[in-house]
Amino acid sequence: MKKKIGCLHAHYSNIDYIESVFSLYDLELRHYVDPGLIYVLQNDQVSVAEKRVKDQIQWMAQSGVDAILITCTNYIALLKQFEVTIPIIKIDEPYFEALCKTQQPQTILFTNPDTVPGTMARLHHYAKIQQKTLDIEVKVIENTFQFIMSGEKEKYQTAVCDYIMQLDSTRSLSVAQLSMVAAANQIEHETSKTIINPLNTLISSMVSQLNLEKIAEQ
């Protein structure tokens, strides 16, 4: 039977990323998008945002899906422990696993500064559990996130690519946000530089966790 996955996103642009990679698998993807949460967090209304995420997850869990995928690291950081009867897949955990396996010094890129504190707190907590010591620097690509929020995807991708090209090439590099994956892929194609991103790490994790099967070629 085809598995149904409810996907919670902070922005509509994330839908294409998930659809593009999981269209190869026997899945039904149901997308829920709540960009308003970003603005609530920008106004420091954390308790309001926490309640919104909890309500949204419980609503999705009641909709007949087999699992919930959360693609926004802000949402994940806000998610407190509460009971749902289906798996909740957090896009950042397979990404953290990949970072913890990296031996050399690392640079993590963000475009949304509001995402940094929650993501890094979760990363360090994850690394502590895994008994890993990380040599990490965080860089925020300033004045860029507004492009993706206003639908200017080409400007966003160009800004991210330009920034990556001027970075120190001796450090391992990753992008922390799903919205940055297209730029990371472009740089990899143009330079053969490896850039860890949360979409690639998510695929193998979900295939394993949910026992996903590829659609047979016609």
Q: In what order do the strands lie in the sheet with 136-140?
A: 136-140, 106-110, 172-175, 195-196
At residue 2, the pLDDT reads: 84
Residues 165 and 119 in one domain: yes
Q: What residue has token string 């999981």?
A: 22
Degrees to nearest 5, angle at CA 114 with 123 and 47: 90
- Per the structure, the count of domains in the chain is 2
In a domain, 218, yes or no: no
- Are 41 and 17 within 8 A, CB to CB? no
pLDDT at 216 over 70: no
Confidence of residue 82 (pLDDT cuts 50, 70, 90): low
- The residues pairing with 69 across neighbouring beta strands, listed in sequence order, are 7, 89
What range does the domain containing 190 cover?
A: 93-197
Residues 80 and 132 in one domain: no
Residues 33 and 108 in one domain: no
* Cβ-based burial of 8 (10 A; exposed 0-12, middle 13-18, buried ≥19): buried
Residues 101 and 82 in one domain: no
Confidence of residue 208 (pLDDT cuts 50, 70, 90): confident
At residue 168, the pLDDT reads: 76
Nearest Cα neighbor of 216 from 7, 3, 24 is 24
**Helical (H) or strand (E) element with 88:** strand 88-90
Residues 160 and 77 in one domain: no
Return the minimum-mean-pLDDT range out of 10-14, 34-38, 67-71. 34-38
At residue 120, the pLDDT reads: 94
Residues 80 and 33 in one domain: yes
* Total number of residues shown for the chain: 218
CATH code of the domain containing 155: 3.40.50.1860
pLDDT at 217 over 60: no
Average pLDDT over residues 108-112: 96
Residues 99 and 30 in one domain: no
Within 8 A by CB and 6+ apart from 98, the residues are 174, 196, 201
- What are 128-171's pLDDT values in tens digits? 999 999 999 999 999 999 999 888 999 999 999 999 999 977 89
In a domain, 216, yes or no: no
At residue 218, the pLDDT reads: 41
Q: Cα 62 to chain center, whole Å?
A: 23
Confidence of residue 81 (pLDDT cuts 50, 70, 90): low
Q: Write the DSSP symbol of residue 111.
A: S
Question: In a 3-state reduction of DSSP, which class is residue 28?
Answer: strand
